[in-house]
Amino acid sequence: ASAFLGTSPIRQFAENWTMERILSTAEKAVTFAVDNDIPVMFVTEDTTRSKPDEIKQVYTRAIELGADRICVCDTCGHVTPNGVRQLLTFIQDEVIPDAGVKRRDIEVNWHGHQDRGLGVANNLAAVEAGADVIHGTALGVGERSGNAPLDQTLVNLSLMGVIDNDLTLLAEYMEKAHEYIEVALPRNYPVFGADAFETGTGVHASAVIKAMKKGDNWLADRVYSGVPAADFGLEQVIRIGHMSGRSNITYWLEKNGYDVNDELVAHLFDVAKSQRRLMEDKEVHAAISAFQAE
């Protein structure tokens, strides 16, 4: 069970709470859970805006009464990565030992929000600072600007070598989350947006295509991408647009089963230059059909 209670001065003022009342409520909740053999995690809401001495009081009491898990919360998305590191260091080096237990006996959770766009950065800082469990949600769904995105957290932990999980089904999970919870998945969403691994720029595409023609998919996945698409069940995509070179067009035609000839390439090059964006595949097919019908 999670027993949570706000501890920040702003919450205390809004609710007319005193620390005596907060401690009493915490004691009752944790004691009830322990007496009924319910594993309990004690959660301080708005931890990042709470006073250190008051955090220490309430966590110490909860641990003394039998809570073996605690959750440190950035409920309002207030903290920065440096603040995360300092707060978790304080809790692990001072609060837990002073409660009379060893650090390894207490599971430390970190729960972050996105109000300042720092959810993922704060999650990574929490990992670096020694938190045992990091919270997140698919697509960062949550109250206000949302919770820390679970998907982006996993991607970064994998790239940092912190975890070695197989994440090749993560893209499918994201599509299902997008479908079922009806939260937008923007085209430029990191890693899992439709545009994440697309390139239409001639210089970029040319380098990717050269790597592909070498049969070096590892290189193709990295020459113009900081995230290897294959690690997450995805692939590099070459598109045609106003900044494309002829190599984009030739590659696209070959990949889609068309015979490549200079006239068709020149026609598509002219069509692409008249666009203000990347062409959808169906638009390229239509342009080819129109050309062949002439």
**Would 144 be classed as within a structural domain?**
no
Residues 181-208: pLDDT tens digits?
999 999 999 999 999 999 888 888 899 9
The pLDDT of residue 52 is 96
Same domain, 11 and 114: yes
Contacts for 277 with CB less than 8 Å, ≥ 6 apart: 241, 242
Q: Is residue 190 a part of any domain in this protein?
A: no
Q: Quick one: which of 51, 57, 53, 52 has its CA closest to 42?
A: 57
pLDDT of residue 257: 86
Residue 266 within a domain: yes
Residue after which a domain boundary falls, among 88, 103, 135:
135
Provide the 10 A C-beta neighbour count for residue 279: 21
Percent of the chain at pLDDT exceeding 90: 74
Residue 39 placed within a domain: yes
Tell whether 7 and 131 lie within a shared domain.
yes
How far apart are the C-alpha atoms of 23 and 182, rounded to whole Å? 40
Give the CATH number for residue 93.
3.20.20.70
The structural domain count of the chain equals 2
CA 130, CA 201: separation in Å to the nearest integer? 42
Question: What's the domain range around 239?
Answer: 198-293
Q: Give the mean pLDDT per block of 10 residues along the chain (294 residues).
A: 91 93 94 94 95 96 95 96 98 94 95 97 98 97 95 98 96 96 94 92 89 89 93 92 88 88 89 88 89 79
CA–CA distance, 38 with 67 (Å, rounded to integer) = 10
What's the Rg (C-alpha) of the chain?
A: 26
Residue 173 lies in a domain: no
Asked whether residue 131 falls in the same domain as residue 213, the answer is no
pTM, whole model, 2 decimals? 0.88
Domain end marker among 114, 135, 156: 135
Please give the pLDDT value at position 185. 94
Within the chain, strands assigned E span 2-6, 41-45, 69-73, 107-111, 133-134, 198-199, 237-238
